[in-house]
Structure 1
Amino acid sequence: MTLRIYIASAIICLSVFKANGQVLINNAEDLRSLELTPMETAYLHLNSNVLFPGEYLYYSFYCIDASTYKLSNISKVGYVQLINSSGETILNQKIRLNKGKGQGELFIPSSLNSGNYKLIGFTRWMSNENIDQLFQSDILLVNPYRTNQFSDANTTLSEESMTEKPNASLSDSIVGISIGKNSFSPRSNLQLTVQNLKGTLGAGSYSISVRKVDDLNIPAPTNPIQYSNKYAKLSKKISKKIGDTLVIPEQKGELVSYQLIDNQRQQPKPNVELAVSLPGKRNEIKYAKTDQSGTFYSYYKSPIASDNIYVQLITEDNSTHTLKNSKLSDRLINTKLLTFANHKVSTTDSILIKNRSIHNQIQNAYRINKKDTLVSSEPENPFSSDIPESFVLDEYKRFKTMKETFVEIVVNVSIKKRDGKDVIWIDENTLSNSRRYKIEYLAPLVLVDGIYIKDQQTILDFDATKVKAVYLLRDRFSLGSKAFKGMIYLETFDQQNQPLITNETILVAKGNFAQEDRRYFNQLYSDNTEDNRAPDFRTQLYWNPNFNLKDDEINFDCYTSDVKGDFEIILNGYTSYGKPIHLRKTFRVE
């Protein structure tokens, strides 16, 4: 386990936040400063805009500087929402942006009705402008497991919907796509190559999809060249004035916000100091303080690996309080302003729909052996650049409780009596502290798998056989107004600290955090693979949401499936100087 502990004070001025994480533009100086930050827009490369239950909508998120048209490095978080024709958010996702690029996927559940939906992509910074600043794409969802869902289910597609999809390069020969031939047998390698034909002019960030041409003839998703036609209508900077409120961009990382509720008074609790813990492979603990509405905010630069957020009141009792998610993204966009397409399926498409549904069910039955994987993050310096003393307990004689372990194994930690109770004593670093400090008692900060535990007796009684290692820092630090003498970090074997959390009455809330990037499963075939015996009804043969093209060419392994028919390769992206690129090439499997 790579240990990452961050002790940080609040990095945003909570007093300036209004409702929904907004700030007030107080004067001309504030306004000028904000106008120097370029406005953004977004383009999303979608693998498809016609979806069935059990399928994934994959997307590659391009955040674009609206003044230079290059990828933006302003916002660090993007938002993607699927909206139904009533303006309700059906699916909602946050993703991390790295130098303007992000990725994600939305699983389509069987509970959704057939109909026309809208997919929108945006950042908090974009939400300050009108709805045209956002990315929007029409989505047709076909659910064969539900009936009578279209108002006119027998109506065929309109003439507009029958627009033929082009099969031409729109990149002025800057980038090219090459495959071995134009016709392939099932389960064969395409020998797919993306070529940079213009050196530095073709270098850029791209995404690629290899997928069966949709038999339901719906207009193709907007490509980046088509999307660039709206650039002239976009805001290049904020169109606000003094006295207006403004949603600030997430430049420092992901903005997390919750409201502290006093259960006894049934109202928000203002001016309370908190220790906010996010356990996981990138442990973080931060100081926060609630504002007058009982709300606290915190930025997280690194991806959040925890499913939950854990909060301890630093100077008060936790037991009479609860947490409420502020849901900052829910009210950013007025979805009632969206307009929806009127694409409809015909009864003549029933056989196509039935076959696709059967293929999806078979594929999902075998999906357990074809899982995506998380992309590992770069390691960061643990303990905020300090090097802890470490004790791997299996290297010593084992003791039953952590109290015995501290006394017998952990050097510079002892147990003393204070007001009739056992307390944990850390001998401070003598190189940095005077004798007066050494004899003064201050409690250490104790973390178990990244979660702050206030009650020392809970720690002393904890079963030491569950602890893998103890890490120790002996310098002073503080969280808000509370000072600590050193820090003790307990790493358990299975990261299961639920008994401690229950005993501590720690405030726990479900976190709607940005998802981590994934490396999507890519089916490969060889003479020795066991997959040769399993059915393969993939219609999405390959999906790569993010790759950088620098050199002459990049080769990709991509195999056809048992599905026959016409397939298409779609490459979208932007060069390093902001030129949109779109390529489409077709081939046949027979």
Structure 2
Amino acid sequence: MNRIISLIATILLAHNTFAAEFRTDRTWYLAGEQMTVSVTDQDALIAYAELCDTQGLAAGTTISIHNHKGTGTIELPANLHSGYYALSVYTRHSAQVSNQLVAIINPLHKSKDDDIEWLSSDSSWVEANGTAKLINKKGTDTRETEGHIIRARINNTYNGRTFNGEQIRPSLSIVGKQIHYFEGKMENDSTAVFYTYGIHGKQPLVLSAASLTGMSLPIEMISPFVTLLPKELPHLVFHYKRSEVEERSLAMQRHQIAIAPAKRELQLGDYSDETAEDGVPMDYDPTVFGNQPDMTYNLDEYRQFLTIKEVLIEYVQCVRSKKSNGVTQLFVRKEDDRYNNYWPATVLIDGMPVIDIDRLLKYDARRIHYINIYGDMYTFGNGINNGILSFITRSGRLTNYPTEPNTQYLVYEFPQ
């Protein structure tokens, strides 16, 4: 009996009924300053903090938690409008979200979104509330051992058909020469959540969603810090001493200009398809969770053919194609086994799942370096596949290979 190996082991922990507790170092901030957020939670290792107004996300961060406590900073953009914002903190285990109002003051830039009434005071009142703090301590490199959470929105009505969550198979794959493939969990009929782990730094990834009939559905990432926006925020009445607030603002602006080059180097990834080449693909590693492939073909050792279809026909054993309801599928077997015609193989190219097999068969085989065949049965979420057929290009970057229709190919920076 074939061994069933689960590539992705998703650990579902019981949801807390209590929200995470948190506090900020001050009750109001100047646009461009840093906000320090301290979090207390009994179970989680990572907390997510986000600052929103009624229009959308203003800023956010992740906070590592050790011994139930953690502290992080949020860089406030210098162009924020003046008014109240809602600060929300939550963890992947929390059933509730903690919220707090925070006042943001921007005396150097006026905006149509400003919701503030300026009343002169003697930002003594200012002295009592302190001045800007400088975070000079060296940061600690903390791995997000729980795994980073990514959500995606799926258009479940496509080409005149509507699919429910049980009929949709979302996936997230890291582009590269290794296999890092994550099956998503459908939260409802149009939202998928991915619990990733072991991935750090800026990486190119592909989001895809396929119906059980093999149709590719449109999918796009949801910002990791987006929650329900507040419907309205209270009007801000700010008592200030003009000279001190302006002096503090000018000092902050000079500081922002000075650190701007360094901040650009640390920006949280680029979500545009045009810069997907900026990510660093994973190095070649034929093992899948410790398993060597049953068969490996280094195409440099064989005569070159123009298409993958020719390669599979001429010298790749243990692979054959079959149409089911008009959809081409590939089946693999171990060298001495029979084909299992009930379960097709999971087909990957540079780690990206392939839905349109016919297009893959027409791809330029001269760009392929390795073909790896894994003959065991594998579980991906609720799905079962008989083996994995993995194509590795020479670059590991899906060179000239068009991504599947309706998928999203982008560079994303996973927390360090």
Q: 1:18-57 alignment to 2 at 5 Å?
A: 40-43=20-23, 50-53=29-32, 57=34
Aligned match of 2:120? 155
Q: Could you say if the C-alpha distance between residues 40 and 287 of structure 1 is closer, same or farther in structure 2, counting changes exceeding 3 Å?
A: closer
Q: Is the 8 A contact 2:155 2:218 kept in 1?
A: yes
Which amino acid in structure 1 is aligned with residue 390 of structure 2?
Y
Q: Is the 8 A contact 2:80 2:106 kept in 1?
A: no
Is 1:505 aligned to residue 368 of structure 2?
A: no
Give 1:7 shift: 3.2
Is 1:387 aligned to residue 292 of structure 2?
A: yes
Normalising to structure 1: TM-score of the pair? 0.50
**Per-residue deviation, residues 397-422 of structure 1 (Å, max 9, x unmatched):** 65443334445675x44556879999
Q: 1:184-203 alignment to 2 at 5 Å?
A: none
Aligned match of 1:93? 60
Is 1:491 aligned to residue 396 of structure 2?
A: no
Distance 2:355 2:320 in 1: 16
Is 1:7 aligned to residue 4 of structure 2?
A: no
Which amino acid in structure 2 is aligned with residue 474 of structure 1?
G
Aligned match of 1:322? 218
Give 1:475 shift: 1.4
Give 1:453 shift: 0.7
Aligned match of 2:181? 284
Distance 1:121 1:341 in 2: 25
Is 1:444 aligned to residue 350 of structure 2?
A: no
Distance 1:38 1:116 in 2: 25
* Aligned length, in residue pairs: 382
**Per-residue deviation, residues 392-445 of structure 1 (Å, max 9, x unmatched):** 5557665443334445675x4455687999975533254xxxx5x347575321
Aligned match of 2:51? 82
Normalising to structure 2: TM-score of the pair? 0.66
Is 1:402 aligned to residue 308 of structure 2?
A: yes
Range with bigger deviation, 419-428 or 87-96: 419-428
Q: Is the 8 A contact 2:81 2:104 kept in 1?
A: no
Q: Is the 8 A contact 1:117 1:140 kept in 2?
A: yes
Distance 1:119 1:417 in 2: 54
Q: Secondary structure at the match of 1:384?
A: coil
Q: Secondary structure at the match of 2:334?
A: coil
Which amino acid in structure 2 is aligned with residue 505 of structure 1?
P
Gapped regions of structure 2 (runs ≥ 5): 138-144, 270-279
Q: Is the 8 A contact 2:332 2:389 kept in 1?
A: no
Distance 1:79 1:150 in 2: 27
Is 1:140 aligned to residue 104 of structure 2?
A: yes
Q: Is the 8 A contact 1:116 1:343 kept in 2?
A: no
Q: CA RMSD in A?
A: 5.2
Q: Is the 8 A contact 1:261 1:323 kept in 2?
A: no
Q: Secondary structure at the match of 1:128?
A: coil
Q: Secondary structure at the match of 2:126?
A: helix
Distance 1:505 1:290 in 2: 23
Aligned match of 1:64? 40
Gapped regions of structure 1 (runs ≥ 5): 14-32, 66-71, 167-207, 212-249, 518-590
Q: Secondary structure at the match of 1:497?
A: coil
Range with bigger deviation, 102-111 or 113-122: 102-111
Distance 1:473 1:62 in 2: 47
Give 1:155 shift: 2.1
Is 1:472 aligned to residue 373 of structure 2?
A: yes
Q: Is the 8 A contact 1:153 1:347 kept in 2?
A: no
Q: 1:561-572 alignment to 2 at 5 Å?
A: none
Distance 2:224 2:256 in 1: 35
Q: Could you say if the C-alpha distance between residues 127 and 329 of structure 1 is closer, same or farther in structure 2, counting changes exceeding 3 Å?
A: farther
Q: Is the 8 A contact 2:175 2:352 kept in 1?
A: no
The structure whose RCO (Cα within 8 Å, separation 6+) is larger is 1
Q: Is the 8 A contact 2:122 2:240 kept in 1?
A: yes
Distance 2:103 2:348 in 1: 46
Give 1:468 shift: 4.4
Q: Is the 8 A contact 1:127 1:332 kept in 2?
A: no
